[in-house]
Amino acid sequence: MQFRAKQIAPPKEWAIFEDLCHALFKQVWQDPLAQKNGRRGQAQHGVDVFGSPNDDLQLYLGVQCKGKDSNYGSKVVWSEVVAEIAKAEQFSPKLDKWIFATTAPADAKLQKAARELSVERKAKGLFSVDVLAWEEIQALMAGAPEVITEFYPEHADHLPQVIEALRALPPLAEKIASLVERFNAKLPEPSNPHGPALWEVVTFDGDRGLGPALMGYSLGPSDATACPRLTEVGTILSQLKIAYSARLIGASGAGKSICSYQAAKVLAARGFQVQRLLDPEADNIALEAALPGKRRLCLIDDAHLLKPHVLSRIEGQADPALLVLTTHNAIEGVSHRGAITLDQKRAVKTIAAALRANLPKTLEAVRLANDNVGERMMNTDIGERLDHAESTSDRPWQFCFVLGGGWRRSKQAADSARAANADLILAAVAIRQLASRDARAVPGEIVEVCARAGIDAGMVDQGLEWLGKQRLIVGVADCRAPHQRFATVVLKRILEG
């Protein structure tokens, strides 16, 4: 039986009905960033949920959620709708459409009154009005299977379980076996291989120095002190104080993780317990309970891997005692309303200036990664190396690579690329970079070079993705080695292999 043909009862609690409307209209409007208006107890100006259809920020729609009928104690009367319209007039920016969503059954008189009022209001340049009864809401839910699964899982499709039941029918087992296998081949995995969500408490006790950054390792809480503080830290703290949640976006290797840990370290010093989500693709992500009397900061790195409705639900729980900080890779075509963008070139300048301020300490750290820097004969001056790293780097990890003499690790890089079947693709990157005098290259140009060696485009794409994750190229959209000198020496190592 189709979902809209079933008799489905509204949620028993008003708060759940509001959550349902929030999830539903995100789907209907195709706006994953549609939000609840404030939190319970705040003035909402006749609007519980608002958003922009198709992410058109010039157009705003609002929904007022009213639990009515036997479930909530009374029926809808037109005077109540009019009173809520008056409140919605105060919503800013001006709404284009306002919807009165109720669990009460459809009422022809209310619908007629709403239609007639909408005509009058549109003639005056005011928002139109719709009254949606529970039947219409259920009809909209029929086109949003994710909402059904979340709020009415007992009415969701259960094809895997049905097929398993068919398997157990002895008289038909042999006849339907092939059909079952064909269905199974098309079905997604019923369970998430990432398992349940896990949070861990973050502490900032250690200090690993600059060594891990210079070696290109992933940075964590123990690196928050040694790495120069980025400008965006102050912006994050200010936004968390005002809005209780903040999103930090930037390119891979721009310094998002260390910036978030630096902000978290400041909050930890102010008495917040910092909790980090270990896997953003895990099942059933919910905010963990804090210790009694503790304020919390929930930190989610790589939050672009979260489903939009999960991220919105988590941010919707933020309050003065529960802060939420998320980091996201900048993805072309994906917008983050109100997000903080990490300026990677400014981050390079900030880091370089801080390291120049204490050259003896910087020299001591750099010489651990590259003993060819210093004041001895034939050594490179640390000041010159800093200037060169700053002028040739677009993002912090590239700056650290150049400063630490990353080309000296070319043999290790060549061996790792060979084991991953990406060595010839790295060679093509190096050849293109040297021949073009360090011009930016897109994947299609590397495909063209590799085609001469009989390497197909699919293998090139896989190789570039691996090289990007290993930071042996600037990025999949910028197919260059981190430095021309590295391109020279790694090409020699690959040819030797």
State which amino acid sits at residue 307. Answer: K
Residues 6+ apart with CB under 8 A from 342: 230, 232, 248, 249, 250, 254, 255, 256, 259
Tokens of 160: 């895997």
Query: Is residue 92 included in any domain, yes or no?
Result: yes
Query: Residue 405 in 3-state DSSP?
Result: coil
Q: Give the closest residue to 8 by CA, choosing from 166, 148, 107, 186.
A: 148
CA distance 276 to 261: 10
CA distance 231 to 344: 11
Same domain, 411 and 396: no
Tokens of 191: 């369970």
Residues 6+ apart with CB under 8 A from 287: 296, 298, 314, 317, 322
Query: Is residue 194 included in any domain, yes or no?
Result: no
Domains in the chain, number: 5
Helix 134-142, helix 14-28: angle, nearest 10: 50
Strand partners, 328: 249
**What are φ and ψ of residue 361, in 5° steps?**
-65, -40
In the chain, DSSP finds a helix count (H) and a strand count (E) of 20, 11
What does 250-275 look like in DSSP terms, one character per residue?
Answer: E-TTSSHHHHHHHHHHHHHHTTEEEE
pLDDT of residue 290: 53
Query: Residue 460 in 3-state DSSP?
Result: helix
Q: Give the closest residue to 254 by CA, choosing from 308, 328, 325, 204.
A: 328
CATH number at residue 255: 3.40.50
CA distance 466 to 418: 12
Tokens of 70: 């036997």
Residues 6+ apart with CB under 8 A from 373: 363, 366, 367, 379, 380, 381, 382, 385, 405
Query: Is residue 379 included in any domain, yes or no?
Result: yes
Tokens of 437: 């005098």
List the chain residues with pLDDT less than 70. Answer: 1-4, 40-41, 43, 69-74, 157-195, 288-293, 331-335, 371, 374-379
Q: Identify the residue whose tokens are 């996201």.
A: 328
Q: Give the closest residue to 326 by CA, choosing from 409, 240, 410.
A: 240
CA distance 358 to 450: 45
Cβ-contact 419, 470 below 8 angstroms: no
CA distance 463 to 387: 32
Same domain, 288 and 230: yes
CA distance 467 to 26: 37
Same domain, 416 and 455: yes
Same domain, 370 and 393: yes
CA distance 296 to 256: 20
Mean pLDDT, the chain, as a whole number?
83
Same domain, 417 and 394: no
What residue numbers bound the domain in which 121 lies? Answer: 3-154
Query: Is residue 431 included in any domain, yes or no?
Result: yes
Same domain, 209 and 301: yes
pLDDT of residue 192: 53
Pairing of strands 97-102, 61-66: parallel
pLDDT of residue 447: 92
CA distance 162 to 158: 6
pLDDT per residue over 447-478, tens digit each? 999 998 899 999 999 999 999 888 888 888 88
pLDDT per residue over 308-319, tens digit each? 888 888 888 899
Same domain, 143 and 9: yes
Same domain, 21 and 141: yes
Tokens of 249: 């976006």
Same domain, 211 and 234: yes
Give the end of a domain, one of 297, 323, 342.
Answer: 342
CA distance 416 to 216: 15
CATH number at residue 56: 3.40.1350
pLDDT per residue over 286-315, tens digit each? 776 555 668 999 999 888 888 888 888 888
pLDDT of residue 171: 54
CA distance 329 to 264: 19
Query: Is residue 318 included in any domain, yes or no?
Result: yes
Tokens of 84: 């809520």
pLDDT of residue 190: 46
CA distance 233 to 239: 10
What is the rounded (10 degree) CA torsion for 6, 12, 17, 18? 180
Same domain, 238 and 174: no
User: Which DSSP letter does residue 283 get?
Assistant: B
Strand-by-strand arrangement of the 128-132 sheet: 35-36, 49-51, 61-66, 97-102, 128-132
CA distance 89 to 95: 8
Helix 484-496, helix 410-419: angle, nearest 10: 60
Query: Is residue 192 included in any domain, yes or no?
Result: no
Query: Is residue 460 included in any domain, yes or no?
Result: yes
Tokens of 357: 């301020």
Same domain, 64 and 8: yes
Q: Vertex 466, ends 335 and 458: CA angle to 5°?
A: 90
User: Per residue, what are the HEC states of 180-210?
Assistant: HHHHHHHCCCCCCCCCECCEEEECCCCCCCC
Most distant CA pair in the chain, distance = 93
Please tell me the pTM assigned to this model.
Answer: 0.54
Query: Is residue 291 included in any domain, yes or no?
Result: yes
Same domain, 203 and 332: yes
